[in-house]
Structure 1
């Protein structure tokens, strides 16, 4: 009897996967021939990978503000003997594409909660607020709707680090341990201006590319190793990626970036009570290593791990090392 129930459960699961993939393919091929077919197909296959191999399932929640919808990938079977880990992505696409190299390993050790931040992926809002505080409220609201009230571990990278830092301050009971990777938390206005001049002025336009050339610049800026591939990717594929990742909410994404760049963070630089692990690549050209050291000095309950010959995109350049550090810190109690 038990074996029959298991067979039925697996059958239902694989039928659900097949239906989900079929729907995505139909949308790609027949809904609109102007769609970027290749990237839509890759996105559908990536969803299949998350479902079939990482035991994740997509969930969309409407928040209590009546204006905001947040999309999550969460563990299909939440186990009591595993810690809950929230993963907050940066500006390079949505959560699926940013964490593709990490979710398989991390799903074996954690109950995962992976939101698309508002205006990324399938998360959206009618609210005109573009602040980090709004992103933080939205993430916390979504987590509470999913039954998460506290004791969470949070792993955040780049833009996601600003959001995680704000959550840790505004809702200290929500987060027990915090991992911040390559995030310029505490940047002064002068430091922001220095970085903008270094990268050619309007960083918001770099973060939200319009053309294949812009995307190539973003990749080269974000990574120190393994960047040769970007020279071999045809422009039409990069154009399709830009369409899928940025065009739907381009205006809002640019406004989010401008709000982040124009606000004065230094006056709000506060210590956190949570145990914090800071991880940085020593070749980071977006937020140079000195900013990681500075963050470490301001957080007395923190430790700093520096990865040699790694740039800003630690999640792409060194995912195995990053996963091991996260797991050791959260599960090992270091």
Structure 2
């Protein structure tokens, strides 16, 4: 389907038009001169009277795809920034780093290049790990933090006992970054409250083909997720497990999971 007509490809082009129409522009920032480039949607016209809002996507396609339903609601109140994490969308690096700390450093580099000194941050799924790391490494930059569906406190037993029951991180990655319609069906069962299982296989394959073109290096993207620690005490060596960062941000920190929020 992707060779003749692609629904996902058409939708991707529509999203680009939509983001531009809402007042955002596509930018790329060369962060280090050694092959690290990060793509980000930024305001066409910066409004100093508005607060800033950074939206960090999770695994899957690009940030543009994942935040589309929210940008139109935020754009009137915030200067919105939607980056593509490394190996997703149009972002890539030739460096060997694959950690969420390095992802956060690159996001911070983009914000600095855009002149952003302070921002609220929302991180979804894998993006929640990156957002937490951003707050830990650059506390002067993050004034509010929302972690949405991000297992920053996840332990091995949670993977065994939870609703997302997998035997290993590799198995989790194979579902979160599906390469076949069968794995896509497994993902749909996990992420939807009332999953629709009657989607034609050709449509799912079309989505996989298009979304993986947006994952600039699939093996590297898989490695980014598989290297996540399964205990928060390992997530940030510089942050003690007594949650000093959470205490510092407590008036503004929200952890959202399965429809519940904790502040």
Please indicate the TM-score interval, normalised by the length of the shorter structure: 0.7 to 0.9
How is 1:1-334 mapped onto 2 (pairs within 5 angstroms)?
A: 34=3, 37-52=6-21, 54-64=22-32, 66-149=34-117, 151-192=118-159, 194=161, 198-199=165-166, 201=168, 202-225=171-194, 227-228=195-196, 231-246=197-212, 248-260=216-228, 262=229, 264-267=231-234, 268=236, 269=241, 270-272=243-245, 273-274=248-249, 275-282=252-259, 303=263
Q: Secondary structure at the match of 2:68?
A: coil
Q: Deviations over 1:4-62 (max 9, x none)?
A: xxxxxxxxxxxxxxxxxxxxxxxxxxxxx84873322210111111111x211111111
Q: Larger helix proportion, structure 1 or 2?
A: 1
Residues 34 and 95 in structure 2, CA contact (< 8 A), matched pair in contact too: no
- Secondary structure, in 3 states, of the residue corresponding to 2:90? coil
**CA RMSD for the aligned pairs?**
2.2
Distance apart, 1:66 and its partner CA: 2.2
1:166 Cα offset (Å) = 0.7
Give the direction of change, closer, same or farther, for the CA distance of 1:197–1:81 in structure 2 (3 Å limit): closer
C-alpha change, 1:35 and 1:62, in structure 2 (3 Å) is farther
TM-score (norm 2): 0.86
* 8 A contact 1:161–1:185 mirrored in 2: yes
After the TM superposition, which segments of 4 or more aligned residues of structure 1 sit over 6 Å from their partners?
Answer: none
Q: Distance in 2 between matches of 1:126 and 1:67?
A: 5
Q: Give the paired residue count.
A: 248
Rg larger for:
1
SS in 2 for 1:71: strand
Distance 1:249 1:195 in 2: 30
| TM-score, length of structure 1 as denominator length | 0.69
State the alpha-carbon separation in 2 of the partners of residues 235 and 39 from structure 1.
13
Q: Structure 2: state its 5+ residue gaps.
A: none
Q: Distance in 2 between matches of 1:114 and 1:197?
A: 28
